């Protein structure tokens, strides 16, 4: 354990990279939005601080386990060959202990300082991504990202539960948005990296069914996402500001999906679509947050 602590000091950037910080940041952001949408006013400080940290630590642990299991696959792909394990910056043992320590710490924090339900749901999400998706689904079916996307869609529900101690239908609606967003987001990247996935025998959709079929699936899922994204307004969860923003953002995503069908020879479009999808999700959840507090802000001027 002392060696682990000393190694952490020396290789702290590698351990940070092991957690996939950009992905974890997006997870924590959507969890925070779930927290604020769960209450009409301010979020209790203890639930906010320890809920965010606990969810983020569990996500970082799952990411570390993912890299541990996929270290040989990562070594064969240009996008991932410089990660801490395939590059040799970290060894398997230190990675495993780090993942266990961070995950156990995050779950304990949630169980003791937030509430048990959030801890159990977070644990289920961690197992879903690190074990069910990474170990089994990723290598078993081209629908891996669809089924495994449930884990990535959980953070808003976890954030909501951290504040209320219950699972609300509106929280499940936030889950549904991310669940529908995940396939077109990741398949756009998979089109760009299809040769690398084929090289390491990962059955991503462009590898097993071809690029044209994948482009069609991206369009269909994006259209489904467009419809789902207006449901917060339809159900009264959000107002007109969110609706207008969701339509604009969704229209932009649909534009990229249609361009993928039309401009088949443009090799830049898949990554442009992938990049827009990230901005789309961040902006959509930011809109949900801003719209939620518009009535409160307006009441201050009345």
CATH code at 114? 1.10.357.140
Mean pLDDT lowest for which of 119-123, 125-129, 246-250, 298-302? 298-302
- What predicted TM-score, i.e. pTM, was given to this entire model? 0.91
Are residues 143 and 203 part of one domain? no
Last-in-domain residue among 166, 196, 221: 166
Sequence-distant contacts of 266-275: CB under 8 A, at least 24 apart: 267/192, 270/188, 270/189, 270/191, 270/192, 271/188, 271/189, 271/192, 273/184, 273/188, 273/218, 274/185, 274/188, 274/189, 274/192
Question: Does residue 141 sit in the same domain as residue 185?
Answer: no
The mean pLDDT value for 61-71 works out to 92
Q: Which tens digits make up the pLDDT trace of 160-209? A: 999 999 999 999 999 999 999 999 999 999 999 999 988 888 899 999 99
* CA neighbor of 181 nearest in space, from 247, 276, 73: 276
Mean pLDDT of 36-61: 95
In percent, the amount of the chain with pLDDT more than 90 equals 69
Residue 76: the pLDDT is 82
Q: Where among 110, 145, 166 does a domain terminate?
A: 166
102, 132, 166: which is the final residue of a domain? 166
Distance separating the N- and C-terminal Cα atoms of the chain: 59
Q: What is the pLDDT of residues 265-286, one digit of tens each?
A: 888 999 999 999 999 999 999 9
Contact status, residue 146 vs residue 135, Cβ threshold 8 Å: no
Question: Is the model's pLDDT at 225 over the cut of 70?
Answer: yes
Same domain, 111 and 64: yes
SS3 letters for 112-159?
A: HHCCHHHHHHHHHHHHHHHHHHHHHHHHHCCCHHHHHHHHHCCHHHHH
- Tell whether 186 and 221 lie within a shared domain: yes
Together in a domain, 89 and 174:
no
Question: Above 80 in pLDDT, residue 51?
Answer: yes
Are both 273 and 239 inside the same structural domain? yes
Percent of the chain with pLDDT over 70: 95
Contact 114, 45 (CB under 8 A): no
Q: How confident is the model at residue 299 (pLDDT cuts 50, 70, 90)?
A: low
> 10 with 51, same domain?
yes
Q: In whole angstroms, give the CA distance from residue 271 to residue 287.
A: 24
Q: How would you class 274 by CB atoms within 10 Å of its CB: exposed for 0-12, middle for 13-18, buried for 19 or more? A: buried
Q: pLDDT category, 3, cuts 50, 70, 90? A: low
62 pLDDT above the threshold of 60: yes
Burial call 229-267: b when 16+ CB within 10 Å, e when fewer:
beebbeeebbeeebbebbeebbeebbebbebbeeeeeee
The reply to whether 8 and 141 lie within a common domain is yes
18 vs 71: CA distance, rounded Å = 11
Q: What Å distances lie between residue 223 and 57, 132, 166, 179, 290, CA to CA?
A: 33, 28, 31, 13, 24
Q: Is the pLDDT of residue 300 over 70?
A: no
The residues, ordered by sequence, that sit 6+ positions from 130 with a Cβ below 8 Å of its Cβ are 61, 62, 65, 66, 69
Is the same domain home to 157 and 198? no
Pair (7, 148) in one structural domain: yes
Whether 235 and 106 share a structural domain: no
pLDDT at 2 exceeding the cut of 90: no
Domain that holds residue 253: 168-302
**Number of structural domains, the chain?**
2
Residue count (the chain): 302
Q: Is the pLDDT of residue 7 over 70?
A: no
For residue 8, pLDDT over 60 is answered with no
Whole-number pLDDT of residue 275: 96
Same domain, 249 and 146: no
């Amino acid at each position: 354990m002392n060696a682990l602590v000393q190694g952490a000091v020396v290789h702290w950037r590698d351990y940070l990279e092991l957690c996939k910080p950009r992905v974890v940041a997006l997870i924590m952001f959507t969890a925070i939005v779930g927290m604020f949408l769960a209450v009409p006013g301010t979020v209790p400080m203890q639930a906010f601080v320890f809920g965010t940290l606990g969810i983020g630590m569990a996500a970082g642990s799952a990411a570390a386990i993912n890299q541990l299991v996929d270290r040989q696959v990562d070594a064969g792909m240009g996008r991932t060959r410089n990660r801490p394990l395939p590059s040799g910056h970290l060894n398997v043992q230190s990675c495993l202990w780090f993942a266990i320590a961070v995950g156990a710490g995050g779950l304990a924090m949630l169980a003791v300082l937030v509430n048990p339900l959030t801890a159990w749901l977070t644990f289920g999400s961690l197992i879903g991504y690190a074990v069910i998706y990474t170990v089994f689904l990723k290598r078993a079916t081209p629908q891996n990202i669809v089924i495994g996307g449930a884990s990535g869609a959980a953070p808003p529900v976890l954030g909501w539960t951290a504040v209320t101690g219950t699972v609300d239908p509106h929280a499940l609606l936030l889950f549904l948005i991310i669940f529908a967003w995940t396939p077109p987001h990741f398949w756009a990247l998979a089109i760009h990296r299809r040769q690398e996935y084929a090289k390491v025998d990962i059955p991503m959709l462009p590898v097993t069914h071809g690029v044209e079929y994948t482009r069609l699936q991206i369009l269909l899922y994006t259209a489904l996402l467009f419809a789902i994204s207006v449901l917060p307004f339809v159900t009264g969860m959000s107002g007109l500001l969110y609706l207008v923003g969701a339509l604009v953002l969704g229209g932009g995503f649909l534009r990229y999906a249609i361009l993928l069908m039309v401009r088949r020879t443009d090799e830049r479009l898949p990554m442009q679509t992938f990049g827009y999808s990230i901005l789309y999700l961040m902006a959509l959840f930011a809109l949900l947050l801003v719209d939620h507090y518009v009535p409160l802000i307006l009441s201050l001027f009345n």
